[in-house]
Amino acid sequence: MIITRIPPSPTGKLHIGTARTALFNYLFAKKNGGKMVFRSEDTDKARSTKESEAEIMSGLQWLGITWDNEGEIVRQSERAPIYREYLEKIIANGGAYVSREESKNTPGEMVEVVRLKNPNKVLTFNDLIRGDITFDTTELGDIVIARNLDDALYHFTVVVDDYLMGVTHVIRGEDHISNTPRQILIQEALGIERPIYAHLPLILAPDRSKMSKRHGAVSIESYRELGYTKDAILNYLALLGWNPGTDQELFTLAELVEKFEVTQIQKSGAVFDIKKFNWFNKEYLRRMSAEEFMTYLDLSTAEGLPKYFDITSDSFTRLLPTIQERISIRQEAIDEIKAGEYDFVFVSPTEYTTDMLKWKNDPDASAALPRLEKAAELLKTADFSTPDTIKAALWGYAEEVGKGELFSPLRIALSGKAQSPDPFTIAYIVGLEETLRRIATACDKIKG
């Protein structure tokens, strides 16, 4: 059976690179009826924390990337006796030796480290994405594989754990390519079968440098907080270095499992394009029902909204589709509300100038007056159930007098702003009574 693995080092939040590696391992395993195992590589005592481990695990689970370990999770920090057993074995069979030498950290102090006996040979391994990769191991020297028998180092623990966990395929970032020959030498010295390797392209910032914090958010959690949905994140991650070979862009996790092919993974770096990511999120938001979108937006937990912004009102419910149509992420909605973009919903506009009500050859807005009065009359009997029914009530008259001539002053009368949604949407949101009140205010302004 195919067994892949995700072995994060718990030294921070769940990084997008780790999440993408986990996703590809998951997809490859599921596609082939196999399993993926999880392992916490917490041997760096100074930097590893339990909080980070918990965060990485819950982040992956939130995305729906699950693993198939049986029993307790595997933590390298708890496996020193196992590594010791294998260190003794590799020393006994002559693959490694104990070397007494001066400590690198404390000069003058003598320490005993375990070094691998490098056979100094040319080694080739096959990579599913990159083909044959050849290294001359001579340049590596006799690598240190343990500080002492109870303190095995990274390359050794990875080899032993992958072996004991039955890992058949090692799918990991390109930054691990240079580790692979070292790990193969250890496998060979232990007489362990070599797994199959696939090294994923790096995730790059738009300037093609390695993606890092200075390019913006790099943790899944920060994207989640900004309002990226798990569907959009999964979908976008899948396309960071992989493509289906068709035009299809939107995939559910189940579809990804079905379509995923390792051979479709690219060798060159995958550029992280926030605009494309936003596009994905927008697509998923637009597909939500009104109720789902309301739950997603969850404005009751948003801080700093203006006092007048009443999220329990009917007008807010009627505003929701407009927000849903416009935004890519939740944070945008919050920022727009704070910036007053939707204050017309709750506050009758009075501060605009008569000048704004003019349309083309109408020096003092006097031509707008009869049009607004007629619009008010038509609206009194209009069907207010959707913006379209409101539009229908005004359409015939607009064709008579000109669309700009009618809708421009009407939109200003209703919003008081140079930029706003169309007048039908605003009328629908604020309701008949308030619509008529706003038109009357505009008429009074023109009359002076």
Least CB distance to ligand GLU at residue 96 (A): 20
- Residues in contact with ligand GLU by the rule CB under 6 A: 7-9, 41, 158, 172, 176
Closest CB to ligand GLU among 41 and 405?
41
Nearer to ligand GLU, 7 or 269 (CB): 7
| Closest separation in Å from C-beta 5 to ligand GLU | 7
* Minimum separation from the CB atom of position 159 to ligand GLU (A): 9
* CB-count burial class (<10 Å; 0-12, 13-18, 19+) for 196: middle
Q: How many CA atoms lie within 13 A of 428 on its CB side?
A: 21
Pairing between strand 3-6 and 131-136?
unpaired
DSSP result, 151-163: EE-HHHHHHHHHH
Give least dist CB 29 to ligand GLU, A. 15
**Cβ distance to ligand GLU smaller for residue 41 or 174:** 41
Bridge-based pairing state of the strands 74-75 and 35-40: parallel
Joined tokens for residue 422? 């169309």
Q: How far is the CB of 419 from ligand GLU (least distance, A)?
A: 47
**Is the CB of 16 or the CB of 414 nearer to ligand GLU?**
16
Closer by beta carbon to ligand GLU, 8 or else 387: 8
Binding-site residue ranges: 213
CA terminus-to-terminus distance, the chain: 83
315-388-444 Cα angle (round to 5) = 65
Give least dist CB 337 to ligand GLU, A: 39
Contact status, residue 3 vs residue 29, Cβ threshold 8 Å = yes
SS3 112: strand
Residue spans of alpha helices (H) in 253-355: 253-259, 274-286, 290-297, 314-326, 330-338
Using the minimum distance from each CB to ligand GLU, give the nearer residue, 204 or 323: 204
Annotated binding-site residue numbers for ATP = 213
The total number of residues written for the chain in this structure: 448
